[in-house]
């Protein structure tokens, strides 16, 4: 079974503090909250991502 969680919920603390600029997963999908771009979907337990 794969555990999934909304990226908006998981990164809420970083986003609220304006510390998150962009998050990108291995497939180059991005979460760019400042511009409302959200192509990553859900985070999957054990799957990596790059946070800038």
Structural domain boundaries of the chain? Answer: 4-51
Which pLDDT belongs to residue 1?
A: 56
Q: Using the predicted structure, report yes or no on whether residue 2 has a pLDDT greater than 70.
A: no
**CA dist., res. 3 & res. 5, Å (int):** 7
19 vs 27, more confident: 27
Which pLDDT belongs to residue 43?
A: 80
Backbone angles phi, psi at 10, to 5 degrees: -65, -35
Contact, 31 vs 23, CB < 8 A?
A: yes
């Amino acid at each position: 079974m794969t555990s999934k969680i909304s990226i908006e919920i998981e990164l809420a603390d970083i986003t609220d503090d304006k510390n998150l600029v962009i998050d990108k997963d291995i497939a180059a999908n991005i979460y760019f909250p400042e511009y409302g771009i959200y192509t990553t979907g859900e985070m999957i337990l054990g799957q990596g991502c790059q946070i800038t």
